[in-house]
Amino acid sequence: MPDQQPSQPEYLIAASILSADFARLGEDISAALDAGADTVHLDVMDNHYVPNLTVGPMVCEALRNYGISAPIDVHLMVKPVDRLIPDFAKAGADYITVHPEATEHLDRTLQLIRDHGCKPGLVFNPATPLSFLNHTLNKLDMILLMSVNPGFGGQSFIPATLEKLRQVRSLIDSSGNSIRLEVDGGVKADNIYDIANAGADTFVAGTAIFGTEDYHAAIAAMRKELARCTS
């Protein structure tokens, strides 16, 4: 008889640059990857769509030139958004995720990401309804649920995200499409088990990694919790 154990999804930990040391970004991101992070989450903020200001495509390209080869998921918190998509594609982005509130023509924006060779993702703020998935699901490679309001690292996970994750997991599974379900904000070793059990497979961690002295220990603690999940 084959082993009937339920298989564990491929869990990915994405290190968010927002809490890294911007004065030595390449080195700090490399340290997180060496310590076990799987991907890089690049938070792009414009002081317009969100009340904070970070980095643009030049920094993404600089990380590639520095030697970062892990997948980079670019989380665009900018409005308007279309203008920057080709630039981030050229700068080495793998995934590009956008907020529906940041574009007048969401379908066109998602297609623009695809046309530039990147994987499109749609981001939901805590109060953004999932109805935006009604006519977009077949165009997505990633759905990102914000578990804090976007703009700052170090905020607390909003518990209502768990129910929203369950709803999205069910939509993804019934679609039969291969879509990653990412969660962003307040993810730590002490809640990652519940978040994974609610259906997430990709976990953004900013302060949970960069806010510690020992990145390896921080990531190992999250992996240990994930290993307890069976579905």
Tokens of 65: 């030139």
**Using rule CB under 6 A, residue 186 touches ligand DX5:** yes
**Alpha-carbon torsion (63, 18, 195, 48), positive or negative:** negative
| Options 43, 46, 73, 201, the catalytic residue | 43
Q: How many residues does the chain have?
A: 231
Instruction: Choose, from 28, 141, 184, 201, the residue flagged as catalytic.
Output: 184
Q: Which of 57, 100, 153, 199 touches ligand DX5 by CB under 6 A?
A: 153
Per CB under 5 A, does 73 bind Zn ion?
no
User: In the complex, what is the shortest distance from the CB of residue 214 to Zn ion, in angstroms, rounded to a whole number?
Assistant: 23
Under the binding rule (CB under 6 A), the answer on residue 54 touching ligand DX5 is no
Q: Among residues 28, 43, 182, 225, which is the contact residue for Zn ion, using CB under 5 A?
A: 43
Each residue 109-148 as x (binds ligand DX5 by CB under 6 A) or -, in order, gives: ---------------------------------------x
Tokens 């590009």 found at: 96
Residue 87 annotated in active site: no
Contact residue for ligand DX5 among 20, 28, 41, 164 (CB under 6 A): 41
Would you call 43 a catalytic residue per the annotation? yes
* CA gap 56, 46 in Å, rounded: 9
Q: Using the 8-state DSSP alphabet, how is residue 117 labeled?
A: T
- Write each residue from 56 to 95 as x if it is in contact with ligand DX5 (CB under 6 A), else as -, in one continuous string: -------------------x--------------------
Total residues contacting ligand DX5 (rule CB under 6 A)?
Answer: 21
Rounded-to-integer distance, Cα 193 and Cα 182, Å: 14
Task: Tell me which residues in 191-230 interact with ligand DX5 (CB under 6 A).
Answer: 204-208
Whether the bond between 80 and the residue before it is cis, its omega within 30 degrees of 0, is yes
Torsion angles phi and psi, residue 126, rounded to 5: -55, -35
169 binds Zn ion (CB under 5 A): no
Which residue, 92 or 150, is less far from ligand DX5 as judged by CB?
A: 150
- The pair phi, psi for residue 195, each rounded to 5°, is -65, -40
**Paired tokens of 108:** 């066109």
Q: Residue 160: left (phi > 0), alpha (psi -120 to 50), or beta?
A: alpha
